[in-house]
Amino acid sequence: MTFTPKPDRLLPDLTPREELVLLARTLWREGYNDHLAGHITCNLGDGTLLCNPWLITWDELRPEQVIRIDLTGAVVEGDWPAPLGIPLHLALHEARPDVQWAMHNHPLFGTVMADLRIVPPPMDQSSALGGGGDLALVDEYEGSVDAMDAARAAVAALGDAEIALLAGHGVFVLGVSARAVHQRAVALEQRCQHAWMAMAAGAPLESPLPQWFRDQRRHGDGNGFIGFWEAMVRAELRADPTLLDHD
């Protein structure tokens, strides 16, 4: 008998605002924890985006603190300021209105690989679970984090990619859902970490995975590994049982 997992049996119903908070908190545990840095946006399809605010770290974020901004970055709902580097997301949603979720941060190994301008191959199966195309290197990110021209140049260089290393900056992960972004982001940092360890051991940076496996994992929307995101969300809700108790 084949068991097909059903997401609605694994989690309570979550609003996009709650999903954004849980994405931030779960990724903080995975190394996306560069102090106040980092942005997550959820495109509501009406010209506005949900976004984590400036001044709140991802591990302390709560649903009532999530702000709503327009495509100029102006806060239209909420009483916290927008993050300083939000132009990267504004440029993305301007150029690619079909993108539903986007996440930028500076995890250690992904950022180091971006700084070195190395696009590592997936060294093992778990590192290949991101799905949704090749990992792109964006080496056109020039200017300050709040410069719209620099953000537009980076998004243009990104093209249609869903996962990117931003040279001298960090990483950028897109997806059709919070689950997809979570899966891709976790796999990306693991991919970069394991490649770094292989390099440190003096091994050639060559994947032992067969090409057919790597090609297979490049396809899909990153939303197929049902159960992983849900398990990590449940861990966050166990750690903070009051997280969803908000007005």
Kindly report, residue by residue over 67-125, the tens digit of the pLDDT.
999 999 999 999 999 998 899 999 999 999 999 999 999 999 999 999 999 999 888 88
User: Which domain CATH number covers 58?
Assistant: 3.40.225.10
Q: Is the pLDDT of residue 172 over 60?
A: yes
Using alpha carbons only, give the angle 26, 30, 33 rounded to the nearest 5 degrees.
90
Classify residue 1: in a domain, yes or no. Answer: no
Residue 246 lies in a domain: no
Residue 204: inside a domain, yes or no? Answer: yes
Number of domains in the chain: 1
| Res 130: pLDDT | 65
Residue 8 domain flag: no
Give percent of the chain with pLDDT exceeding 90: 71
245 domain residue, yes or no = no
Res. 218: pLDDT tops 70: no
The domain of 185 spans: 13-239
- Tokens 């984090």 belong to 145
Residue 72 lies in a domain: yes
Read off the pTM: 0.91
Question: What is the model's pLDDT at position 191?
Answer: 93
**Looking at the domain assignment, is residue 3 inside a domain?**
no
pLDDT of residue 247: 63
Helix, strand, or coil here: 135? strand
